Structure 1
Amino acid sequence: MADSEVACPVCMLEYNDPQLLASCGHTFCKRCVAHLRPCLCPLCRVPFQSRDVRPNYALARMLSMLHGQAAPSAPAPESHRLQAVVPLVSQALSGLTLTGQGPDLARSLARQGVPFGIAQLISDEDSQIALRVFLLDNSGSTATFDGKYLSPVSGSTSMQVVPCSRWEELCQTALRQASWNLSLGIPCEFVLLNPPGGQRGFGAFREGVDLVTVDPRSNNAQAQLAALQRMLQSTRPSGLTPLLERIQEIQARLSSTYSHLVSQGGRFVLAILTDGVPTSAGSGLPPEAAQAQVAAALRHLTTMLPVFVVVRLCTDDSPVVEYYNNLDEEEELPLEVIDDLESEAREVAAKGNSWLTYSPLIHTLREGGTLVKLLDLLDERTLTPLEVRLLVGHLLQKEDEPSLPLSDPDAFFRQAGIRLKQAPLVYDPLRQAMMPCVDMKKLRPAMRPAGHRGTSAASACGCFAAFRGLLRQCLSVPCFPDARQPPRHHGHHHCGH
């Protein structure tokens, strides 16, 4: 039997080709996942689809390095030129290809100050993102002056919080994401929710006026970045929040123009930067009906296409926050709701992950939509001891040094402390000061919960044996909460094996 922290909960052996269930974040061996019937996570019983199963590169990398093997990386997908099926507003993406990012990206990001281990995760897990679409809410309410953004302090390595309007906060987020995705090599589109001069269909949108494309593969990416800044500066907030119409238009365009990228394994990210609940322009629908339609549209979008949705809120208004949080919790959607930096840091700490300094880098990764599940889980639940070690190990990983000893908590803690002293400080939004990226005093209990410290080997073996027997029953006979009534599944949940 393998060490309990690096053992698959199904077979009780060390993970072999670990696969992560994106719907819940739990990991199992590839062969164990393939034999799960029905398609429910054995640990939490959350349903999953075949497309929810993807390699856990973070765990596979550290296990390989632990055994002195070459670390696995994401396979480079086939490269095909983009063939436009319908006329594009912008022809800047006409040469778009989906290619693996590879180790060169990790080294490039590391040179820009990204921890090398995190750079490797980005290179591996986000390599399948073919396009990010940022939908920018420029409705009238975004003129409200209760926003904020982070700005460097002149002549210092520290940062300061600058008060601003919600629209300015949204603009700062868009510009930051544009620059970040240029570094990643991922094309982006920035689309205004309300086009200047009145509502019109997406086919009538004008490049540089209603939307801007920033494509790192073009020869004029910096000019595109400048065009984005001009569009944002010239936009004055006005109008309602017609999210339904824009989501439907984006789905139609992704389905027609970028469909071949899906067959290559490409994924899309839709980031909605907003401060309000959906409204429907000119339809006369009550707010509740418009909100229900948007939920249905997002469900249809993410069912038909491999799209991950991020809602970046630029408001603290309770009804707005409640609507999107309920959407995240109640709908079975690949959706993440992100607040501003400080609010998100408080939420991450409240979930039991206060050992981590929630830095601007981590926030930038999450608000743009990342497939790195370790980061996605931070505001959802307390990370498991193994997940804590994986994230810390990647935060402190150096290019030319071995990985931290994953299966030895004491040695891991000692070596993490040594490397932390050499790591640069990061901005802590809760203390509003530059701090280490990890709080060592809080790290030890997070790595080894108090209830696990006194567990003997014999007791642990007995617990695992009992659990293994229970799982065997679950795998051979469907285990329903109520034997008289099977669990309810939405129609789009199926194994697809």
Structure 2
Amino acid sequence: SRWEEVQDCVGYQAHMAGLFGLPTRFIMLNDACAAPTFSVGEPGPNANIPREIQVANESMARNHPSGPTPLSKHLRQMRKFIINISPMLQREGKTITVVLATEGLPTDEHGNHNPAIVQQFVADLRALEGLPVWVVIRLCTDDEKVFDFYNTTDAQLKLPYDVLDDFFGEAMEVYLRNPWLTYGLPLHRFREMGLRVNVLDKIDEQALSLLELRDLCFLLFGPPQPLPDPTVDMQGFFNAIQSLMSREKQQWNPITKTVTPWIDLNRLYRTYVAPSAPVPPSQQPHQYATPPPPPQTYYSQPQQTNQHHPGATFSHSQRPPQ
């Protein structure tokens, strides 16, 4: 279900917060929820990350879909919090990532939705402009009206802002624009947590340029030395990518429902070099060992649900990319 999808997302982000020491606060959108607020990795004398992760998972297990979507109320509270710590964030070169996980349009505390409430929500988002903040809207719905609303809101803001579908929905968006790329779960999780890398913002919006392709490969493979410039040495670039991929595990591909390499070199070559030609024989990809299939709990296609869930919002601080 969609709520299980949110539970899985929060569980992963809680684990990552503990692993990387990212102070993260989780806030249920409805105060009536069991354990409406919990955190992982926040400093303090009683900090206990393993216990905090356990509490996060138990809190999500105790909650169930219900209630309205009072997003504006929480945005105003978060704005006050961010303003209070902005001097520290700016001094340390950090930002706050605010992730709103929801399936619905903004409402008030009573579940009312009308133009005035929408205007207030947009105004509260706009009030974050100029602060060291990055906003991710993680949608948990198949309702096109909801998608259209949040995507349209993006055009009204001068604010770092991204709208994400679920793993399968985003994979399809990426496939339609960059079909040579396997949209693996690690990429989706990084985008969910608000990792600010320009090329990740573009993979579902446009076909990548050659230099953006190089940036993505550097992110995926972390080579020990710079990759060749594909605008100057395409052959050298393909050689380097082939060598790097030979060391990588294949990823579950939600489009083909199989495990595939991060990059389909034949399709990449046809996209950027010769539309009807395969990769030259010397550049054919290595054969990869097939790893075990991924956990079925996440990868089973979510079923549509008409239930409202309380949603979750979480934030953490991060350094901007160099």
Q: TM-score, normalised by structure 2?
A: 0.78
Residue 380 (structure 1) aligned to one of 205, 211, 221 = 205
How far 1:178 moved relative to its partner?
Answer: 1.1
How far 1:258 moved relative to its partner?
Answer: 5.2
Structure 1's 265 and 414: CA in aligned 2 closer, same or farther, altered over 3 A?
closer
Residue 306 (structure 1) aligned to one of 118, 132, 145 = 132
1:329 pairs with 2:155: yes
Distance in 1, Cα, partners of 2:263 & 2:59: 39
Q: Please give the per-residue CA displacement for 1:353-381, whole angstroms capped at 9, x wherever unaligned.
A: 11111000000000111111111111122
Q: Is the 8 A contact 2:24 2:40 kept in 1?
A: yes
Residue number in structure 1 paired with 2:20: 184
Secondary structure of the residue aligned to 2:252 is strand
Distance in 2, Cα, partners of 1:379 & 1:244: 28
Secondary structure of the residue aligned to 2:196 is coil
Distance in 2, Cα, partners of 1:290 & 1:243: 10
Q: Please give the per-residue CA displacement for 1:108-145, whole angstroms capped at 9, x wherever unaligned.
A: xxxxxxxxxxxxxxxxxxxxxxxxxxxxxxxxxxxxxx
Q: Which amino acid aligns with 1:374?
A: V
Q: Is the 8 A contact 1:388 1:447 kept in 2?
A: no
Q: Which amino acid aligns with 1:264?
A: E
Q: Please give the per-residue CA displacement for 1:74-129, whole angstroms capped at 9, x wherever unaligned.
A: xxxxxxxxxxxxxxxxxxxxxxxxxxxxxxxxxxxxxxxxxxxxxxxxxxxxxxxx
Secondary structure of the residue aligned to 2:163 is strand
Residue number in structure 1 paired with 2:186: 361
Distance in 2, Cα, partners of 1:377 & 1:449: 23
Structure 1's 233 and 397: CA in aligned 2 closer, same or farther, altered over 3 A?
closer
Q: Is the 8 A contact 2:68 2:110 kept in 1?
A: no
Residue number in structure 2 paired with 1:290: 117
Distance in 2, Cα, partners of 1:188 & 1:433: 34
1:279 pairs with 2:279: no
Residue number in structure 2 paired with 1:267: 95
Distance in 2, Cα, partners of 1:246 & 1:216: 19
How far 1:446 moved relative to its partner?
Answer: 4.2
Distance in 1, Cα, partners of 2:42 & 2:109: 35
Distance in 2, Cα, partners of 1:283 & 1:174: 24
Q: Is the 8 A contact 2:69 2:104 kept in 1?
A: yes
Q: Which amino acid aligns with 1:376?
A: D
Distance in 2, Cα, partners of 1:258 & 1:222: 28
Secondary structure of the residue aligned to 1:179 is helix
Q: Which amino acid aligns with 2:23?
A: P
Aligned residues: 271
Residue number in structure 2 paired with 1:175: 11
Q: Which amino acid aligns with 1:308?
A: W
Residue number in structure 1 paired with 2:57: 229
Distance in 1, Cα, partners of 2:178 & 2:158: 24
1:389 pairs with 2:225: no
Distance in 1, Cα, partners of 2:262 & 2:121: 38
Q: Which amino acid aligns with 1:186?
A: L
Secondary structure of the residue aligned to 1:347 is helix
Distance in 1, Cα, partners of 2:42 & 2:223: 27
How far 1:428 moved relative to its partner?
Answer: 0.6
Residue 240 (structure 1) aligned to one of 53, 68, 81 = 68
1:442 pairs with 2:278: no
Q: Is the 8 A contact 2:67 2:111 kept in 1?
A: no
Distance in 2, Cα, partners of 1:179 & 1:258: 26
Q: Is the 8 A contact 1:385 1:449 kept in 2?
A: no
1:256 pairs with 2:92: no
Residue 409 (structure 1) aligned to one of 234, 247, 257 = 234
How far 1:434 moved relative to its partner?
Answer: 1.0
Residue number in structure 1 paired with 2:305: none
Q: TM-score, normalised by structure 1?
A: 0.51
Q: Is the 8 A contact 2:182 2:261 kept in 1?
A: yes
Q: Please give the per-residue CA displacement for 1:273-318, whole angstroms capped at 9, x wherever unaligned.
A: 000000112496x5222112111111111x1411100000111111
Distance in 2, Cα, partners of 1:277 & 1:194: 14
Q: Which has the larger radius of gyration?
A: 1
How far 1:216 moved relative to its partner?
Answer: 6.9
Identity %: 31
Secondary structure of the residue aligned to 2:246 is helix
Structure 1's 225 and 347: CA in aligned 2 closer, same or farther, altered over 3 A?
same
Q: Is the 8 A contact 2:139 2:163 kept in 1?
A: yes
Structure 1's 327 and 398: CA in aligned 2 closer, same or farther, altered over 3 A?
same
How far 1:391 moved relative to its partner?
Answer: 1.3
Distance in 2, Cα, partners of 1:335 & 1:441: 34
Distance in 2, Cα, partners of 1:332 & 1:411: 39
Structure 1's 436 and 217: CA in aligned 2 closer, same or farther, altered over 3 A?
farther
Q: Is the 8 A contact 1:269 1:308 kept in 2?
A: yes
Distance in 2, Cα, partners of 1:236 & 1:349: 33
Q: Which amino acid aligns with 2:165?
A: D
Gaps of 5+ in 2: 276-322
1:214 pairs with 2:50: no
Q: Is the 8 A contact 1:388 1:446 kept in 2?
A: no
Distance in 2, Cα, partners of 1:415 & 1:237: 48
